[in-house]
Amino acid sequence: MKIINVVGARPNFMKIAPLLREMRKNKHFKSILLHTGQHYDYEMSKIFFKDLEIPKPDIHLGIGSGSHADQTGRIMMAFEKVVFREKPGLVLLVGDVNSTLACALVASKLSIPIAHVEAGLRSFDRTMPEEINRFVTDSLSDYLFTPTRTAIHNLQQEGIQNGKIHYVGNIMMDTLYSFLNKKSDTGIVEYLHLKSKNYVVLTLHRPENVDHRKNLKNIILGLKGIHKIIPIVFPIHGRTKKRIKEFGFSSSIKKMTNLKIIQPLGYTDFITLMKDSLFVMTDSGGIQEETTVLKVPCLTLRKNTERPETVSIGSNTLVGTHPESMISESLHILDGDAKTGDIPELWDGKTSMRIVNILKKNH
């Protein structure tokens, strides 16, 4: 069975790595890795592929950046040519980026079966582009591999047939446990002159936070209060760096002497940095999940999440973008009142095995 596995941006890499390893153990599958190039930082892509032991993509579309419509359209045109040439038996998609949506539309119109890993996640916020991508991709997919029981419920509420829904657990944890089992210490904490459990990790990239001046200003005000108490290390996203400059916040950032801005990190360095932190502040969905398994408190700078189990079961707290909430919740953790939580069901590192077994059984 020929499967085209699609990745397009960094969050996809962690999800595809264990699936590729599992498929390539099995002669039943001919696995093709296609990188759309939606995430266009070649050097950072290379670091992630090396860290995660992902083979060089068989096909690279080299799409690059653009508006949602422009990027999605160019991926569709390029991917359609690949599908005509390769004639796959299945297109496997992960996550919720524009590449996921674009390739789902192409495969569906050409009657190629679609598998969606991380199906059923919902924030119920249609202002998020990712929410549209999730909803449309799930509606077109033939195999919906869900990470949680909540995701199953969401799909059932949308009228998806039960026969298409498969509860397999969280694919991100396969990659995380693989790293943890190696007991690797990359030395990143010492390199940055930080002390274990005496610093905070910050990530910030979502358009609703960094593209809106008021929200970004509020977050910076919150950071001003927190950095006076504990060091903050901030691997800065290119989009965020650009907006800070555009909105005139550069001088405010420079005055924060306990805020350490660094370049984006590879997977192993970043997981090491999170694992040894006192807590994490983020607007990333994947980091909410990783901190839950690491049992590191996480303050999510959003008003909602498509990963509610990280809040109800795990170590995550939604704090929004209000400076007072950011500072208040940080003080709770600093006072020893940290939320560590438990690990949700089937977040056990065996999700890729379950997915491959289901695909093998049905083909």
Does 205 qualify as catalytic in the annotation? yes
Q: Which residue, 170, 127, 166, is CA-closest to 310?
A: 170
Choosing from 153, 205, 237, 332, the catalytic residue is 205
Cβ within 8 Å of residue 137, ≥6 positions away: 93, 96, 100, 101, 104, 114, 116, 119
Cβ within 8 Å of residue 361, ≥6 positions away: none
Is residue 249 within 8 A of residue 220, CB to CB? The reply is yes
Residue type, 165: I
| Torsion sign across C-alpha atoms 187, 189, 192, 193 | negative
Distance of CA 282 to the CA centre of its chain: 11
In the chain, what are the helix, strand and coil shares in percent, each to the nearest 5? 50, 15, 40
Report, as residue numbers or ranges, the catalytic residues. Answer: 205
